[in-house]
């Protein structure tokens, strides 16, 4: 029982950062399909505030890589309008938090336009949302808001936790005819890992990845909490406690089958995310586990998440708000002993 490779065996890979993997996905998809284009604040010459889109302007030109003004309602609503009329926009909001500035466009226009109009129109839009804490970005630039997206029907929600998934999920998102909110963790842009080199590496939506096999406890973790849970699992393994770590990768659609099958084997579940614990995705996952596997459970399902407080600006303080590896380790030890 141990960690599982991030990329299936036999696939040719290169070491890439999470941000570069996203860049590669964008470039490949724009080469593959001329209808794919992108816009956002400072995405062209500057390459985005996090440098993720660097170089794309040079290859694809100012028509397909567009700097906008500071206008989130247009970035998202304009993408909706463009998607209705034959192109495939991939737009970047500088911070996922700014999605709230475009709330009507995300939750009403993207999520409902097709439904309200009798299913006659499609909205192939990807909204890239740099999410999570990054070190001092503050209360309005550090949130993990994916549960809100999960709560409004009509939006697919992806949260890659490895460079390989960042590439494979984004390529799938761009090819999906539905609107996708793509929560990329901005604290992980420089995390390196093996990334499949081929153009055709797609990670399907609704297929969780089991990151580690174990029999003592199922840990369901997303985003930044995946590496933290895996590190905690290594420490516990030294004491003979083997955690199974599952990364759902997409919350909509959500692969409950893999999670439930694991809990049926381990009898215990801990759900961990960086988002606020109250009414987070973990609440939904925990509820669904107990609906499907109540009689397999040997202990209550626990959740770890951020405190019920905004993210403080100070980089040291912000870490106190979200779950640490030590907290995951402690919770796992306690839960296994129950």
Partner 1 sequence: MSTRTEKTGETGTASAELALDLYRQVTRIRALELLLHRYVKEHGFGGFWHPGLGQEAVQAGAVSALRREDYLFYAHRGLGYALVKGMAPEVLLGDLFGRTGGSVGGKGGGTVHFVDPELGVLGQGGTLGSNFVLGAGAATSVQLLGEDRVVAVFFGDGAASRGTFHEAALQASVWKLPVVWICENNGWHLSAPFSAQSPTEDVADRAAGYGMPGVVVDGQDSVAVRAATLAAVERARAGEGPSLVEAKTLRIRGHYEGDPQRYRDDIADGLEVPRDPLRILRERVPAAAADDLDAAAESEAEAALEAALEMPKADPGIVTEGVWT
Question: Which residue from 2, 10, 66 is spatially nearest to 236, judged by alpha carbons?
Answer: 2
Q: How far is the CB of 14 from partner 1 (least distance, A)?
A: 31
Say if strands 126-131 and 180-185 run parallel, antiparallel, or are unpaired.
parallel
99 part of the interface to partner 1, by CB under 8 A: no
Taking the least distance from each CB to partner 1, the nearer of 38 and 259 is: 38
10 part of the interface to partner 1, by CB under 8 A: no
Q: How far is the CB of 176 from partner 1 (least distance, A)?
A: 8
Q: Residues 2, 15, 71, 278: which binds partner 1 (CB under 8 A)?
A: 71
Q: Residues 21, 43, 80, 166: which binds partner 1 (CB under 8 A)?
A: 80
Taking the least distance from each CB to partner 1, the nearer of 59 and 326 is: 59
Q: Residues 51, 55, 81, 138: which binds partner 1 (CB under 8 A)?
A: 81
84 part of the interface to partner 1, by CB under 8 A: yes
CA distance 21 to 168: 9
Cβ neighbors of 245 (< 8 A, separation 6 or more) are 210, 211, 212, 214, 219, 221, 226, 229, 230, 233
Q: How far is the CB of 159 from partner 1 (least distance, A)?
A: 19
Tell me the β-bridge partners of 128.
92, 182
Residues in binding contact with partner 1, number by CB under 8 A: 45
CA distance 41 to 183: 17
Among the listed ranges 20-28, 73-81, 158-166, 330-338, the one in contact with partner 1 (CB under 8 A) is 73-81
| Range 101-140, binding partner 1 (CB under 8 A) | 104-105, 108-109, 113-124
Is-catalytic flag, 117? no
42 part of the interface to partner 1, by CB under 8 A: no
Instruction: Answer yes or no: are the C-beta atoms of 224 and 135 closer than 8 Å.
Output: no
82 part of the interface to partner 1, by CB under 8 A: yes
Number of neighbouring beta carbons within 10 Å of residue 150: 18
Taking the least distance from each CB to partner 1, the nearer of 12 and 115 is: 115
Question: Which residue from 177, 162, 168 is spatially nearest to 126, judged by alpha carbons?
Answer: 177
Question: Which residue from 322, 300, 294, 184 is spatially nearest to 249, judged by alpha carbons?
Answer: 184
Cβ neighbors of 96 (< 8 A, separation 6 or more) are 129, 130, 131, 132, 143, 144, 145, 183
Q: Which of 108, 141, 151, 273 is catalytic?
A: 141
Q: Residues 77, 99, 132, 196: which binds partner 1 (CB under 8 A)?
A: 77
294 part of the interface to partner 1, by CB under 8 A: no
163 part of the interface to partner 1, by CB under 8 A: no
CA distance 233 to 183: 25
Taking the CA of residue 197 as centre, how many other CA atoms within 13 Å lie in the half-sphere pointing to its CB? 6
DSSP code, position 109: I
178 part of the interface to partner 1, by CB under 8 A: yes
Residues annotated as part of the active site: 141
Interacting residue ranges for partner 1, rule: CB under 8 A: 35, 37, 39, 63-64, 66, 68-69, 71-74, 76-87, 89, 104-105, 108-109, 113-124, 153-154, 177-178
């Amino acid at each position: 029982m141990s960690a599982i490779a991030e990329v299936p065996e036999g696939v040719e890979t290169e070491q890439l950062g999470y941000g570069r993997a996203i860049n590669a996905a964008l470039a490949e998809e724009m080469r593959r399909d001329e209808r794919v284009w992108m816009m956002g604040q400072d995405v062209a010459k500057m390459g985005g505030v996090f440098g993720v889109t660097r170089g794309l302007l040079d290859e694809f030109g100012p028509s397909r890589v567009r700097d906008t003004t500071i206008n989130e309602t247009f970035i998202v609503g304009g993408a909706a309008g463009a998607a209705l009329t034959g192109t495939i926009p991939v737009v970047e909001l500088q911070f996922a938090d700014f999605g709230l500035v475009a709330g009507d466009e995300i939750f009403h226009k993207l999520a409902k336009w097709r439904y309200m109009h009798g299913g006659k129109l499609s909205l192939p839009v990807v909204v890239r949302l740099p999410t999570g804490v990054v070190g001092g970005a503050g209360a309005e630039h550090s949130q993990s808001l994916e549960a809100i997206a999960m709560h409004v029907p009509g939006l697919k929600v992806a949260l890659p936790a490895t460079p390989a998934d960042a590439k494979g999920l984004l390529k799938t998102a761009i090819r999906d005819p539905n609107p996708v909110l793509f929560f990329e963790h901005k604290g992980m842009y420089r995390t390196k890992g093996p990334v499949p080199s081929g153009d055709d590496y797609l990670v399907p939506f609704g297929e969780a990845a089991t990151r580690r096999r174990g029999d003592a406890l199922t840990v369901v973790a997303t985003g930044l909490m995946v590496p933290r849970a895996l590190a905690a699992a290594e420490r516990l393994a030294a004491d003979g406690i083997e955690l199974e770590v599952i990364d759902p990768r997409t919350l909509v659609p959500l692969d409950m089958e893999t999670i439930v099958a694991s809990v049926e084997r381990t009898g215990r579940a801990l759900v961990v995310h960086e988002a606020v614990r109250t009414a987070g995705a973990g609440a939904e996952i925990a509820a669904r586990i107990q609906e499907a596997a109540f009689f397999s459970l040997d202990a209550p399902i626990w959740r770890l998440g951020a405190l019920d407080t905004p993210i403080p600006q100070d980089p040291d303080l912000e870490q106190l708000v979200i779950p640490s590896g030590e907290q995951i380790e402690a919770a796992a030890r306690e839960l296994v002993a129950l």
